[in-house]
Amino acid sequence: MSSYSITEPSSRQKWVAGSLVIAYAIITLLPLVWILTTGFKSPTDAIAYPPKVVFEPSLEGYVNLFTTRTRVTQEQLEALPPPATWYEEIVRDRDMVIAGPSRYGERFLNSVIIGFGSTFLSVFLGTLAAYAFSRFKVPLKDDLLFFILSTRMMPPIAVAIPIFLMFRTLGLSDTHLGMILLYTAVNISLAVWLLKGFIDEIPREYEEAALIDGYTRFQAFYKVVLPQAATGIASTAIFCLIFSWNEYAFAVLLTSGTAQTAPPFIPTIIGVGGQDWPAVAAGATLFLVPVMVFTILLRKHLLRGITFGAVRK
């Protein structure tokens, strides 16, 4: 190439940048690979030292993740009819029978309900609030915005005890609604600030044009502002989901039965029938999937969202 431009990095620069990114990716991905492989190892392989890179894959971890099992004697085992399913067979090999399903499915579903519910609520309320802050004369606007941000300045867990007491009084302990409200309260400040930035970038002329074209302000918001804020909404949603999906401290404290999410549940798997690392790893692996799918679906928006200020003229 004979053309020369100041924005195009040289091949050497590209090579250095590329290596750095790859090195960083390896470092961050290694634990994930570890979790993923451990999920498919047998319990002995999982704790082998030095760690086994090549191993015989097994679904035992996944079977154990979804079942509860009881140990039986050899005579009892022989008295049973032959195993009807492949997973029963895996369990019988360990001298056990399946006693019933585990709670992982329920906990996972709780995570989905609470994670996506609070994300939806945060983004919904955040968008409306951000629009109002961006477009209207709100009394004490700067103070209100600062107050909203200030809720983020201490670690959320610092208020765990008051929240715990409050939830108990209000009957919100260990309920889906309680957790959704709590995660929304934590996420909303991020949502308002992020979205306000995005909406500020959308010129008012578009809404004004829509007003003149015969639309009401709400219709202008809905038809003109929202589609253009899609990028911001998508990236905000991802940030909110990642927080509420992974949140551990509040979940441990405020949920135990009905509304328990997966993060506090996964470690308890260890206790069931010895150090069952493959089952824990399987639980963690599956737990990653929804956030990954969500992020990949919104990936294009996310990239544009992060570089928003830079790309726009």
Partner 1 sequence: MAEVRLSNLSKSFGDTDAVDDVTMNIPNGAFVTLLGPTGAGKTTILRLIAGLETPDQGDVQIGGRSVVADTPAQRNVAMVFQQYSLYPHLSVRENLAFPLRSPLLKTPEAEIERKVAEVAEVLRISHKLNNKATALSGGEMQRVSIGRALVREPSIYLMDEPLSSLDAKLRSDLRIELKRIQANLGATLLYVTHDQIEAMTMATHVGVLDHGRLVQFGSPREIYENPVNLYVAGRLGQPRINVLPADMFGGAPTGAKTIGLRPEHIAQGEGKSSEVKRVEHLGDQIRLHLRLDGHDIVTLSENYQTVEPGDTVAIQPRNPLFFDASGARIA
- Angstrom distance (rounded) from CA 239 to CA 237: 5
Q: Is there a contact between 104 and 265 (Cβ–Cβ < 8 Å)?
A: yes
Rule CB under 8 A: is residue 219 a binding residue for partner 1? yes
CB of 308 to partner 1, least distance (A): 14
- Indicate the residue among 89 and 213 with the shorter CB distance to partner 1: 213
Contact partners, residue 223, CB within 8 Å, separation at least 6: 210, 215
Tokens of 248: 């551990």
Q: Is there a contact between 283 and 262 (Cβ–Cβ < 8 Å)?
A: yes
Rule CB under 8 A: is residue 136 a binding residue for partner 1? no
Size of the site for partner 1 (CB under 8 A): 17
Rule CB under 8 A: is residue 213 a binding residue for partner 1? yes
Rule CB under 8 A: is residue 298 a binding residue for partner 1? no
Rule CB under 8 A: is residue 55 a binding residue for partner 1? no
Binding partner 1 (rule: CB under 8 A), the pick from 93, 95, 143, 208 is: 208
Binding partner 1 (rule: CB under 8 A), the pick from 203, 222, 275, 303 is: 203
| Spatial CA neighbour of 174 closest among 237, 251, 98 | 251
- Indicate the residue among 215 and 239 with the shorter CB distance to partner 1: 215
CB of 296 to partner 1, least distance (A): 23
CB of 309 to partner 1, least distance (A): 17
Q: Is the dihedral of CA 265, 267, 270, 276 positive or negative?
A: positive
Contact partners, residue 247, CB within 8 Å, separation at least 6: 183, 186, 261, 263
DSSP assignment of 7-52 equals SSPPHHHHHHHHHHHHHHHHHHHHHHHHHHHHHTS-HHHHT-SSPP
CB of 192 to partner 1, least distance (A): 23
For the segment 221-260, give every residue that binds partner 1 (CB under 8 A).
224, 227-228, 230
Rule CB under 8 A: is residue 215 a binding residue for partner 1? yes
Q: Is there a contact between 293 and 206 (Cβ–Cβ < 8 Å)?
A: no
Tokens of 59: 């679904």
Give the interface segment with partner 1, choosing from 38-46, 123-131, 220-228, 241-249 (CB under 8 A).
220-228
List residues near partner 1 by CB under 8 A.
203, 205-206, 208-216, 219, 224, 227-228, 230
